[in-house]
Structure 1
């Protein structure tokens, strides 16, 4: 039997692939290899004679029903961990159609195939962003969803569709909602790797608004450990929050990055805030912790290790930051850098 990891060439998915293979499991990866998918993230597995025997890669779209069903037959799939997603809020604001196609329609195709082939376990990877802004306290799994941008809305749609297949068809679904991830191999469009790589190049760090948006950070390895734990100990039909317990102002995280790299804080440039920017995310993870799981990586230590990785793997991210990325970056930030009417209340 084989676990199908969709989006397995991406940031979080590739870490989960490695975790499963290290446990001796057979893994099939389905990845569209968009700009965020990178086979270099799996290079050590592909090139290792022993690990590669447990691994099969398929390039394709989770929205392609015929291809998905072919993989089910070919690989005798019994479990799915669905990491495949368009995942960057800024890009969803510029154009939402790909997010709807992958994060909703793609989930539907996977669910239908799972129902047809009597899957034993389906893990839908969702996000804390489906809850919207946490004005006070922390969100529990039973709280209402209130997404505020096209990305989080598309993820909420896939989240609830998966749950509907549990209620209607008793498909063995578990949904996880994690806080913001960080760690090695993360695409440099995201906040932490963007600020690390810009600082390494002595470029400005574009900090939205006053920089006092709050995020709860979880290291990708802790996130993957949480998903693994839930696969073995979670209950079908349930939702589990996976948080790191590391709430930080964005500006404080930027300061940590610059201080670690011994770069001046003057590299920070406050720019016009993002449309519909959620002010704070916070998760109540007591449900999962009562089962016996908790995060292990302290934020300062994990961030330091992450910075060290980007400093030592500049070929990896410099290749990504050329071409399409620069076109996106200029569209996203050039007008914001030019806008001097930015409120700074820090």
Structure 2
């Protein structure tokens, strides 16, 4: 199988690409990959360093809104995995350009989305039929891209599958994101900055489990369907930072710092949670990485790789 992977130099995208080329994902053994990535703040060519010489990998530095480049990149590929939605209005334009390239007759178009398209939920968990109610413009752009993808399935029969994942963590994640932000702050001897006093609750998903869910959705998911890929544990941010401190050998109740107003959006979802029964029942997926094990390996990676994350910190 020949895969076109947009955003393949980003966090989850690069993990997916490396796992494909290492033949670690179900149904994708021997697949070749073309990565198309604009290399914004989220894209980092170093994320592909371990596979850059692999003869099954090709790289196209381009924007998904560049129709001629996208059209050329599509040729000869069997399926598309679209990771490059970063929550910008251009995401809707970019996915429309990709979807318009349907004349190349790919067998599957996997659109990778997130739980933040639903907004916030106080109790219970969203199912795939829950209404989209994004709380921020960034999340609204992601929701718009989801709807565009599904509309192309309904209108044109494009074999689109959409996944929505929980908050994902692991190595190679930009230090602006929650887990690496807390880890790198503590490694540098800085206080952890907690949003809303650390009360925000998220369902945490290890990137290896996320990628395995994506592979199953790509190969066996039903066209026109949405699948949730949920995490193995639900934690408030203040509980998360206690676990990180403990793993680092620090006082679990050490000093915290409130998040600066300019550092985070005013609107924020208090709690997010996904019901993942559908992907478990239909595709046989379930998380394999126990959270404390995944968190420990993630912390160890950031401890051992400061030359990767320090240049990404704000001045």
Partner of 1:40: 46
Deviations 1:14-47 (A, max 9, x none): 0100121122211000001112111111111014
Does the 8 Å contact 2:85/2:113 carry over to 1? Answer: no
3-state DSSP class of the match of 2:244? helix
3-state DSSP class of the match of 1:257? helix
Partner of 2:278: 287
Which residue among 307, 310, 317 is the counterpart of 2:302?
310
Does the 8 Å contact 2:5/2:83 carry over to 1? Answer: yes
Give me the whole-angstrom Cα distance separating, in 1, the residues matched to 2:265 and 2:139: 14
3-state DSSP class of the match of 2:254? helix
Does the 8 Å contact 2:86/2:142 carry over to 1? Answer: no
The CA deviation at 1:140 is 0.3
Give me the whole-angstrom Cα distance separating, in 1, the residues matched to 2:265 and 2:246: 25
3-state DSSP class of the match of 2:9? coil
Deviations 1:30-88 (A, max 9, x none): 001112111111111014xxxx2100001010010011011123xx012000001225x
Match status 1:69 vs 2:71? yes
Partner of 2:27: none
Give me the whole-angstrom Cα distance separating, in 1, the residues matched to 2:108 and 2:93: 20
Instruction: Choose between structure 1 and 2: higher helix proportion.
Output: 1
Which residue among 297, 303, 315 is the counterpart of 2:289?
297
3-state DSSP class of the match of 1:174? strand
Give me the whole-angstrom Cα distance separating, in 1, the residues matched to 2:41 and 2:255: 27
Does the 8 Å contact 2:280/2:286 carry over to 1? Answer: yes
Match status 1:155 vs 2:152? no
Give me the whole-angstrom Cα distance separating, in 2, the residues matched to 1:253 and 1:4: 35
Match status 1:275 vs 2:266? yes
What value does the CA root-mean-square deviation take over the aligned residues?
1.2
3-state DSSP class of the match of 1:151? helix
Partner of 2:235: 248
The CA deviation at 1:274 is 4.1
Give me the whole-angstrom Cα distance separating, in 2, the residues matched to 1:202 and 1:284: 37
Does the 8 Å contact 2:64/2:95 carry over to 1? Answer: yes
Which residue among 105, 117, 126 is the counterpart of 2:93?
105
Which residue among 30, 34, 39 is the counterpart of 2:36?
30
Match status 1:55 vs 2:57? yes
Partner of 2:7: 7
- How many pairs align? 304
Partner of 2:81: 81
Q: Normalising by the residue count of structure 1, what TM-score does the alignment of the two structures yield?
A: 0.85
3-state DSSP class of the match of 1:77? coil
